[in-house]
Structure 1
Amino acid sequence: MRNLVAVVIALVLASVAWKQWERHAPPAGVSRSEMRTLAASVRPEEVVMYTTTECGYCHQAKNWLSSNGFAFTECNMSVDARCQSEFQSYHADGTPFLVINRGKKQHLMREGFDTEEFVAALRG
């Protein structure tokens, strides 16, 4: 019986570890090497994420960006009125809301954080 319990615990832990790894994985069609190269090319001012302190999706997006080495600037509307004003100027209505300024192009992520959309916007 003890062995069965140990096996079940090991399977649960492996499943959690797999989900954690999967959550930080690059989008389909992008190698980890390409992700590292892309992340190294991004400056913090090129990616601005508008968040609120209580936003769970914001925490997930920040975790994904950080775990993949992407620099970004967080603008937390819960603590900075300027962020709220900027957010409203974009006519945004949900968080996380990302503004990506790369080269001469600007991309607004209006539908929340999506890894494929994010990588495509950075690639131009």
Structure 2
Amino acid sequence: MKNITVYSTPTCPYCHMVKDYLKKNDFQYKDINVAVDQRAAAEMIKKSGQMGVPVIDIDGNIVVGFDREKINSLLGL
């Protein structure tokens, strides 16, 4: 089982696309709303070097944006 965290905001369309994609492929994930959690936002920036969302952490591997090819590779799809 993969350890997946999605750093997102409620208004981000790509965040919704990533979460829908993970659900469709039966992957569980932890969703962190960085719009309300400043500590998590700082953690996301430290991990990714980016302020934009979504940022996906898959077993310690960081994906910025909805990069389907990289996500598939990390998930073994």
SS at match of 2:31: strand
User: Which structure has more helix as a fraction of its residues?
Assistant: 1
User: Which structure has more strand as a fraction of its residues?
Assistant: 2
Q: Which residue of 37, 53, 67 maps to 1:114?
A: 67
Quote the Cα distance in structure 2 between the aligned partners of 1:107 and 1:81: 22
Quote the Cα distance in structure 2 between the aligned partners of 1:78 and 1:94: 11
Deviation at 1:109, TM superposition (A): 0.6
**Which TM-score applies when normalising by structure 1?**
0.54
Give the unaligned 5+ runs of structure 2. Answer: none
Q: What pairs up with 1:9-20 in 2 under 5 angstroms?
A: none
The one-letter code sitting in structure 2 at the alignment partner of 1:70 is F
- Aligned partner of 2:10 in structure 1 is 53
Identity within the alignment, %: 31
Deviation at 1:93, TM superposition (A): 3.0
Runs (4 or more) in structure 1 with deviation over 6 Å come to none
Quote the Cα distance in structure 1 between the aligned partners of 2:35 and 2:8: 8
**Which TM-score applies when normalising by structure 2?**
0.82
Greater shift, 84-93 or 58-67, is seen at 84-93
- Across the aligned residues of Structure 1 and Structure 2, the Cα RMSD in angstroms comes to 1.5
